[in-house]
Amino acid sequence: MTPSDSKQPSSLQKLLSYLKPHWKKVTLGIGALFIVNGISAYLPLLISGAIDQFQTSFEFSEVQQDVLVLLALSTLMWAIRMGSRVLLFGAGRQVEFDLKQRIFDHLLQLEPAYFAVNTPGDLINRATSDVDNIRRLVGFAVLSIANTAFAYVITLPLMLGIDPVLSLLSIAVYPFIMLVVKVFSQRLRDEQSAVQTSLSNLSDLIQEDMSGISLIKIYAQEENEHRAFGEFNHSLLQANLKLALTQNTLFPFLGGVASISLLVLLSLGSRAIASGTISVGDFVALLLYVERLIFPTAILGFTITAYQRGIVSLDRIEAILSVQPAISDKNAVVAANSLDLQGAIRAQDLSLRYPGADQEALKQVSFQIKPGQMVAIVGPVGSGKTTLANCIPRLLDVPPGQLWIDDYDVTQLPLEALRTAIAYVPQDSFLFSASIKNNIRYGDPVADLAAVQGAAQQAKIHEEILNFPKQYETPVGERGITLSGGQRQRSALARALMTDAPILILDDALASVDNQTATFILEQLAHTDRRKTVIFISHQLSAAAIADQILVMDHGKLVQSGTHRQLLQTPGLYRHLWSQQQLEAQLKG
Ligand SMILES: Nc1ncnc2c1ncn2[C@@H]1O[C@H](COP(=O)(O)OP(=O)(O)OP(=O)(O)O)[C@@H](O)[C@H]1O
């Protein structure tokens, strides 16, 4: 994640933009706080007047009246304060909801390469724990900051009106409090940031270890993982303790310093009463006002922490939201509805380098595929087969003017139209935690069971599904039954076959299926009514042999192309790989 640069809107501006859609709630909430503060500033005046009056004459009916007014105003204050909390905390929840929605939608826009460098644990942490901190910032911190500001703005003039000298002397320590808060706020922010980073590291480790649990067990690495977890957990503990130390030193200190104002007022005020420069009623009012300022001043530390924590989290969330998708529709010039792609594919000097790699993964690859052709991509491991396949649906950032579908440059096609025209079965056949039926009809969620079964039959998985406990309703994926590698691959193939896409790409998608079944499935695909352009990557040359065209990759280059027969007649990599595989088969046989 890159840190936001200085020209970006400030964190505060960002926060205001989050609040904008809920401005009515926030304004009403803050308005209600202003009224509460107004009433609570009036109460000491009421009490002060009553005390001074009692000193001259004491009438029970007047006491009763003052008590009733006090009771009514206190009840009103309580109701309005409650309203303000409901409004501001409600706005916090709304902002939390909006942000989660925005982060998720934004992540859906980003290309797979982003997720190769940004780990799920960290992203989950940002979308949950950091969003939670922003909710507290909007709820608690905004409420508390507004409350403190109103307390000062309304109370101070009233205090100065009663006795300027006594008031200023009693709050003389407050500027010192502000200074301490300012000095500590950057530290709190850095320490909070360290806590969030440690939390992300820990989430990452848990997420990775749970995904790779079989590997940990096979290599008996429990002890090492335990140690690695312990180290991360320890870092988190250290970061939390450091933060807690700062908070636990700062907050009581602020509370203690704020109470000094009460002591000053008590000692100087009693002398002022004795010398007759201030009435008892005014003294009590001053006492109540100082009391009113102590609480918001003393919890300034908490308020600042909630604010800083929220701002740290806000920056961490903005680091996700500010990432522009590398692959987007911005250069699309063709209207999606005018497209009826046939499935011709052409590459001209197609070159691609992964970010940060020192070598190109594809080097000036050129080929031509006619609609309905069946094409195999073969070659040694790491030769660029998957990279080439990933370029076609633009899962990678393909340069313009190098790859065309029909006569359209892929970078100028709307992404949705391009990807709808391509059914893709990746190497890793991922299944969602849903029924096998819903997994197969993932690309067309309203397809009926007959269509799902048709696709499953084509992918040669139908019979096995009928043996599952609940047949097509059987839950699979993480929360369902565990399918074998071959069953997963054929389910993923069925999912791809459900869509009416003119192009089908299989990235080594039948590697776990036995050779005979794999070849049968491929041959069947070549003989369907509406012939699709089929591109399949395979390490099995006997499967590749049935293709109309074979592209042979080596070190990112297309080194040979032609039919199986043509390639066997030409000296080169294909013939070499073929004789190697024949030899292996003979040795095994
Ligand atoms: N995300 C990535 N970032 C950097 N380099 C990558 C990335 N993915 C692949 N590569 C590199 O690009 C080259 C081609 O990889 P690719 O996966 O396309 O090969 P392949 O022929 O499909 O291999 P295999 O048969 O093992 O699947 C390799 O050197 C690989 O290390």
pLDDT tens-digit readout, 390-430: 999 999 999 999 999 998 999 988 888 898 899 999 888 88
Q: Whose CA is nearest to atom 19 of ligand 1?
A: 382
Pocket flag, ligand 1, residue 354 (CB < 6 Å): yes
The predicted model gives 21-32 an average pLDDT of: 93
Phi, psi (rounded to 5 degrees) for 378? -125, 170
**Residue 397: which of 429, 428, 362, 358 has the closest Cα?**
362
pLDDT band at 6 (very low <50, low <70, confident <90, very high): very low
Question: Are 87 and 28 in contact, with CB atoms under 8 Å apart?
Answer: yes
Q: What H or E segment, with its residue span, contains residue 196?
A: helix 174-211
Whether ligand 1 lies within 6 angstroms of the CB of 251 is answered as no
Atom of ligand 1 nearest to the CA of 553: 21
For residue 109, CA distances in Å to 88, 116, 416 come to: 31, 15, 11
Residue nearest to atom 16 of ligand 1 (CA): 384
Q: CA 529, CA 117: separation in Å to the nearest integer? A: 43
Query: Residue 404's closest CA among 418, 416, 420, 423?
Result: 418
At 5 the pLDDT is 45
- Alpha carbon of 354 to ligand 1 centroid (Å): 9
Q: Which atom of ligand 1 is nearest to the CA of 556?
A: 14
Q: Residue 318 and residue 320: Cα distance in Å, rounded?
A: 5
The confidence score (pLDDT) of residue 8 equals: 65
Q: What is the band of 58 on the pLDDT scale with cuts at 50, 70, 90? A: low
Q: Which residue's C-alpha comes closest to atom 11 of ligand 1?
A: 361
Asked whether the predicted pLDDT for residue 137 surpasses 90, the reply is no
Amino acid at 254: L
CB 426 less than 6 A from any atom of ligand 1: no
Ligand 1 centroid to residue 204 C-alpha, Å: 24
Per-residue model confidence (pLDDT) at position 94: 93
Q: At residue 235, does pLDDT exceed 90?
A: yes
pLDDT at residue 64 in the model: 78
The least confident of 81-85, 102-106, 273-277, 564-568 is 273-277
- φ and ψ at residue 405, rounded to 5 degrees: -115, 130
Q: From the CA of 382, how far away is ligand 1's center (Å)?
A: 5
State the number of CA atoms in the 13 A half-sphere of 25 facing the CB. Answer: 20
Tokens of 494: 């069925």
- Give per-residue pLDDT as tens, 542-575: 888 889 999 999 999 999 999 999 999 999 999 9
Confidence grade of residue 521 (pLDDT, cut at 50, 70, 90): confident
Cα 400 to averaged position of ligand 1 atoms, centre (Å)? 21
Residue 383 CA, closest ligand 1 atom number: 21
Tens digits of per-residue pLDDT, 154-188?
A: 998 999 999 999 899 988 888 888 788 778 877 88
- Among 184, 361, 177, 150, which Cα is nearest to 261's? 177
Ligand 1 midpoint to CA 585 (Å): 27
Q: Stretch 282-294: mean pLDDT, rounded?
A: 87
pLDDT at 75 over 90: yes
Residue nearest to atom 12 of ligand 1 (CA): 361
Q: How far is the CA of 539 from the centre of ligand 1 (A)?
A: 15
Cα separations in angstroms, 374 against 293, 336, 486, 533, 563? 79, 26, 22, 6, 11
Higher per-residue confidence, 54 vs 191 = 191
Q: Give distance in angstroms: CA of 69 to centre of ligand 1.
A: 79
Q: Is 529 helix (H, G, I), strand (E, B) or coil?
A: coil
Residue with CA closest to ligand 1 atom 24: 381
CA 362 to ligand 1 center in whole angstroms: 10
What pLDDT band is residue 530 in, cutting at 50, 70 and 90?
A: low
Tokens representing 350 are 């197609």
Which of 95-109, 503-517, 520-534 shows the highest mean pLDDT? 95-109
- Tokens 């024949």 locate to 582
Protein residue closest via CA to atom 29 of ligand 1:
382
Give the model's pLDDT for residue 537.
Answer: 94
Query: Is ligand 1 within 6 A of the CB of residue 386?
Result: yes
Rounded CA gap, 357 and 87, in Å? 52
Q: How far is the CA of 388 from the centre of ligand 1 (A)?
A: 10
For residue 3, is pLDDT > 60? no
Q: What's the CA gap between 449 and 348, in Å, rounded?
A: 42
> pLDDT exceeding 70 applies to what percent of the chain?
95
Q: What is the DSSP letter of 476?
A: B
What's the per-residue H, E or C state across 304-353? HHHHHHHHHHHHHHHHHHCCCCCCCCCCCCCCHHHCCCCCCEEEEEEEEC
HEC secondary structure over 101-140: HHHHHHHHHCCHHHHHHCCHHHHHHHHHHHHHHHHHHHHH
Output the CA 339–ligand 1 centroid distance in Å.
Answer: 32
Residue 264 has pLDDT above 70, yes or no: yes
SS3 362: strand
Confidence check: pLDDT of 9 > 50: yes
Q: Half-sphere exposure (CA, 13 Å, Cβ side) for 233? A: 7
Coil/strand/helix, residue 363? strand
Residue 309 has pLDDT above 80, yes or no: yes
Q: Is the CB of 82 under 6 A from ligand 1?
A: no
What would the mean pLDDT of 501-513 be, rounded to a whole number? Answer: 86
Is residue 381 in contact with ligand 1, taking CB distance under 6 Å?
yes
pLDDT at 559: 96
> Which element (helix H / strand E) includes 66?
helix 60-109
- Residue 387 in contact with ligand 1 by CB distance below 6 A: yes
Answer for the pair 461, 491: CB distance below 8 angstroms, yes or no.
Answer: yes
54-66 exposure pattern, b = at least 16 Cβ within 10 A, e = fewer: eeeeeeeeeeeeb
Determine whether the shortest distance from the Cβ of 114 to ligand 1 is under 6 A.
no
**Helix 142-162 vs helix 60-109: angle between axes, to the nearest 10 degrees?**
150
pLDDT, tens only, 345-380: 999 999 999 988 889 999 999 999 999 999 999 999
Angle between helix axes 300-321 and 11-19 (nearest 10 degrees) is: 90
Nearest CA to ligand 1 atom 26: 381
The response to whether residue 382 sits with its C-beta less than 6 Å from ligand 1 reads yes
The complex's ipTM works out to 0.96
| Distance of alpha carbon 126 from alpha carbon 124, whole angstroms | 5
Best residue among 118, 360, 387 to mutate for probing ligand 1, ranked by most atoms within 8 Å of CB = 387
Contacts of 213 (CB under 8 A, 6+ apart): none
Q: Say what the pLDDT of residue 270 is.
A: 85
Residues in the chain: 589
| Interatomic CA distance for residues 453 and 498, integer angstroms | 9
Name which residue sits closest to atom 9 of ligand 1, judged by CA.
Answer: 387
CA 357–ligand 1 middle distance (angstroms): 11
Helix (H, G, I), strand (E, B) or coil at 504: strand
In angstroms, the first-to-last Cα distance of the chain is 53
In angstroms, the CA 510 to CA 362 distance is 24
pLDDT number for residue 375: 95
- Give CA–CA dist 539/223, Å, rounded: 37
User: In this model, does residue 529 exceed pLDDT 60?
Assistant: no
**CA of residue 556 to ligand 1 center, whole Å:** 9
C-beta of 383 in contact with ligand 1 (< 6 A): yes
391 closest CA partner among 372, 363, 371 = 363
CA–CA separation, 211 and 478 (whole Å): 10
